[in-house]
Structure formats: C-alpha cells, structure tokens
Structure 1
Amino acid sequence: PENLHDVVMANLFATVLQRSFEKMAKTLREGGVLVVSGVLEDQWDDTREAAQAAGLAFEVVHQRGKWISAKGGAA
C-alpha cells in the first residue's frame, strides 16, 4: 500500500490522539515507530487503552512532571 510511514509523531490533546490511533495504525509501515507526546498523566490510561484497541502498543514511556510521552508501534 502507498502512503505508509516508518515514523509517525503526534503531539496532540489526549482526546484527539485517542480518536486518531486507528488511522495512525493504518499508516505505519510494518516495524514502524509511533511517538506520542502531550498526554497528561491523568489521561494516560485511557490513551494507552485506545492505542491498544487500535492494535498499537507502547514499549517506552517517559514522564516529566504531569506530561507523558511514549514510543511504540504495532502490537
């Protein structure tokens, strides 16, 4: 398929990320990397669950203060 990407990066509100994970999953090339940031600590569980529902998983999660960023890809 065309328009597949090795890396997708998104620094968006958690609610926007959650609605976008299915589309992001479809645009990642096999073995591609997804990087997200801008997620507040109290929104992380819902965001992670939405990613999992779209077939994505995060292997690395960083937190600085109340902000979370994460790196992952297809589960």
Structure 2
Amino acid sequence: MLCNELSGYEVLSTGPYLLLQFTANSATPGQGFAATFHFQPPPDSTAADSDRLLKLSFGKAFESLGPEVSATSK
C-alpha cells in the first residue's frame, strides 16, 4: 500500500503480534502517516492483567511517549 492512496484502512491481527513497517524516501512527497491502535485483552482477563500486558508489550517507550514529529519547510 502506498501513502496517499488509501485512508481509513483497518488492519486486524488475530494473534498476539502485529508489525507495521513504514518506509520513507524523498522520491515520493507526503506527510508521513498517522496511526491509532486499540488493545483488546483476552476475554477472561482482569483490568490489572491488561495494565501488566501493556507494560510488558510497550515498556518504557509506552509510558513516556516523546514529542510528535512534524514536517519541516525549506
């Protein structure tokens, strides 16, 4: 899938892992990408289990997200 060709596309993982790869170059102009995700814990888990799984999955990077990156102008 190429940037600016499709928006609102939904990706669903039916397993415990999902990898999305973004490749950029200067040959194709664009603004990058934006993504959101929804984490759904197993049906038999508790809220404490969900918090623990999030921390295990994302570690410190999830707890302290950095600043947004914006386009620069010449």
TM-score by length of structure 1 reads 0.32
- Report the structure, 1 or 2, having the larger helix content: 1
Structure number with higher relative contact order (C-alpha < 8 Å, ≥ 6 residues apart): 1
